[in-house]
Structure 1
Amino acid sequence: MSYFPAFIRFDNKKILIVGAGKIAFEKCKHLLDFTSDITIISRLYCDEIKELISSYSLDFIQKDYEKGDIKGFDIVIAALDNLSIQESIYQESREFNCLCNCVDFTNYCDFIFPSYIKKGDLTIAISTSGTSPSMAKHLKIYLQKLIPDSIEDFLKQMKEYRATMPKGKKRMEFLNDKTKEYISKWK
């Protein structure tokens, strides 16, 4: 079954990453594009995670995961080599009603991390629902080349128009024309 594409606001959402190796580092790096309200629990950690913890003032609890550690978190990422611990974290997430992602264990994922492009307010997510992460990666690279760096300035301008113009058909047509004009210059 495919995953439904949704964009989640992280305002007031507490995120827990269990594990602090290379995969946890990659997941944390992606999350930091959207929030820094991240706690990491792990007895061992890689140098890259240590640097993120320091640079972003992330909460870090240096210990092994224990049942109950996910209490109070909205989103949990289990990035451990031990699949039985990942499974127990997923089962526990059912009790605490939080979203869970067990890396490389899709049967225990409420959501997956898509490949994505982020330029200012523009975010494009690409997923093959785990079928071919390499396709998502290469499609991302292809699309990145198509999107001009000026997109951030354009979106700021559009945001200003939306904030200052009265709602209605005239505004909608104006914004639509501006967008079509901007995109036509990409060719």
Structure 2
Amino acid sequence: MTHYRAPLNDRIRDPSMGTTNPDRTENFTYFPAFIHVTGKKVLVLGGGEVATGKLRILSKSQADITVVAPEICDDIAVMVDEGRIVWESTPFVDTMVNGAAMVFDATDDPYLTARVKAATKRRNILLNVVDKTAQCDFIVPAILDRSPVMITISTGACAPALARIIRQRLETVLPATMSQLARVARDARQKVADHLHDNVSRQRFWTHFFQRGLQTHSARSICPEDVDLALRQFVPDGSSATVPGGQTLMADVHVDNAFDLPHGIARAIETADIVFHEDHIADDILTLARRDATVIPIGCITLDEHPERKRESIAQQSKIFARQGFNIVTLTQPITH
């Protein structure tokens, strides 16, 4: 089978592109990344409530955590008793940071902070001084925990309260069952790869599987048997060469930003393989498309010499691509005078 391929969506990467939001061109102050800390040393200085907050997050990782403090509060003492962290009660010395992947300073002691900063800088170790952004090599974002799914929100330390509010709103949108859904998918990746040998089939399968699994009206958790059922339904007669038909949608867009876009249209754009769009569709909306999606401008249908013929041509192209298993979205916008 021959599949259509075209240049990928570069709208979210091209700084020269016009945009409805000029602030999007602002450079990152902090680079967003996740650090692998399994089996690595992480040092936390301080034994009070501030240190406790960091330790609650760190203890969910598989890092080797050491707390340096002359005294520790009850919550930290429980973590020590449970064997989740190690407590070092002796005064801080520079060599304590040796071999650490990162260091957290939660002491609120400017003199000690200066010593710690000098020690970590000499050893090229990342340092976070809690609530002292100017002293930090890295910051910790607001976290929405749906392990193994981890969603982080950061304002680059300029508005932490806003990041917390965004996280709280997302808590009400993303179901708790997302955790189980991700675990089931993780364990089934090889099984799905054994059944579906091409990327198009696998991508289509997982898209459909996750969409069904994230439906808010689902009353039960996803289990491994759901993957088996989905594979049987997705691949008739056990043929791994079968690619199911894709979906097509032609939508009139009446807004100029992604926030006000109807949820159904937004979800269609996010899962589309190919997006046809009129020239005056806002870039803010087009950035919803996946990075690997093909985004194709089609001018302005209404102003075309033969608008109905052009609509029919796009509809025919969409059908061809859909038969190859692609999801197609065509976005038009009525002209107002």
What's 2:202 paired with? 171
In 2, the alpha carbon distance for the partners of 1:42 and 1:12 equals 22
The answer on whether the counterparts of 1:19 and 1:80 sit within 8 Å (CA) in structure 2 is yes
Q: Aligned equivalents of 1:76 and 1:58: distance in 2?
A: 14
CA distance in 1, matches of 2:114, 2:175: 42
Deviation string 1:124-163 (CA, Å, 9 cap, x unpaired) is 0011122122111121111111111211221122223312
How far apart, CA to CA, are the structure 2 residues paired with 1:128 and 1:175?
31
| AA matched with 1:180 | Q
Alpha-carbon shift at residue 36 of structure 1 (Å): 4.8
In the TM superposition, residue 27 of structure 1 has moved relative to its aligned partner by: 0.5
Tell me which protein shows more helix as a share of its residues. Answer: 1
Q: Secondary structure at the match of 1:11?
A: coil
- Partners of 2:161 and 2:167 lie apart in 1 by 10
The match for 1:143 is 170
What is the CA–CA distance in structure 1 between the aligned matches of 2:73 and 2:183, rounded to whole Å? Answer: 38
Deviates more, 1:103-112 or 1:18-27: 103-112
Equivalent residue in structure 2 for 1:68, among 87, 95, 107: 95
Aligned length: 186
Deviation of 1:30 after TM superposition, in Å, equals 0.9
Question: Quick one: structure 1 residues 115 and 97, their matched pair in 2 at CA, closer, same or farther if it must change by over 3 Å?
Answer: same
- Taking a change above 3 Å as real, the CA distance of residues 64 and 181 of structure 1, as seen in their structure-2 partners, is same
Following the alignment from structure 1 to structure 2, what is the Cα–Cα distance between the partners of residues 97 and 168? 43
Residue of structure 2 in register with 1:127 after alignment = 154
1:59 maps to what in 2? 86
CA distance, structure 2, for counterparts of residue 171 and residue 13 of structure 1 = 35
Aligned-residue identity in percent: 25
What residue identity is the alignment partner of 1:163? Q
- Per the alignment, residue 101 of structure 1 pairs with 128
CA contact (8 A) 2:144 2:151 kept: yes
Task: Name the Cα RMSD after superposition.
Answer: 1.8
Provide structure 1 residue ranges, at least 5 long, that are not aligned to the other structure. none
Whether contact under 8 Å (1:36, 1:56) holds in the other structure is no
**2:138 aligned counterpart, secondary structure:** coil
TM norm structure 1? 0.90
| 89 and 168 in structure 1: CA distance in 2 versus 1, 3 angstrom threshold | farther
Paired position in structure 1 for 2:216: 186
For 2:300, the equivalent position in structure 1 comes to: none
Q: Any residues of structure 2 matched to 1:150-165 within 5 Å, and which?
A: 150-165=177-192
For 1:46, the equivalent position in structure 2 comes to: 73
Gaps of 5+ in 2: 1-27, 218-337
Cα shift at 1:120: 2.4
Return the letter of the residue paired with 2:184.
Answer: Q
The structure with more radius of gyration = 2
- 1:28 is paired with a residue of what secondary structure? helix
Counterpart CA distance in 1 for 2:56 and 2:192 is 37
Give the equivalent residue in structure 2 for 1:7.
34
Tell me how far apart the structure 1 counterparts of residues 202 and 40 of structure 2 sit (CA, whole Å).
Answer: 34
Q: How far, CA to CA, are the matches of 1:90 and 1:186 in structure 2?
A: 47
Asked if 1:110 corresponds to 2:137, the answer is yes
> C-alpha deviations, 1:33-90, integer Å up to 9, x for none?
2125100111122222112211234211112212222112121111112123112212
Letter of the 1:4 counterpart: F
- Residues 16 and 76 in structure 1, CA contact (< 8 A), matched pair in contact too: yes
119-128 vs 47-56, which moves further: 47-56
Find the partner of 1:16 among 34, 43, 46: 43
Q: Residue type of the partner of 1:119? A: R
Greater CA drift, 152-161 or 112-121: 152-161
CA contact (8 A) 1:36 1:58 kept: no
TM-score (norm 2): 0.52
Q: Identify the residue that residue 80 of structure 1 maps to in structure 2.
A: 107
Task: Give the SS at the match of 1:7.
Answer: coil
Q: Which amino acid aligns with 1:30?
A: I
Match of 2:312 in 1: none
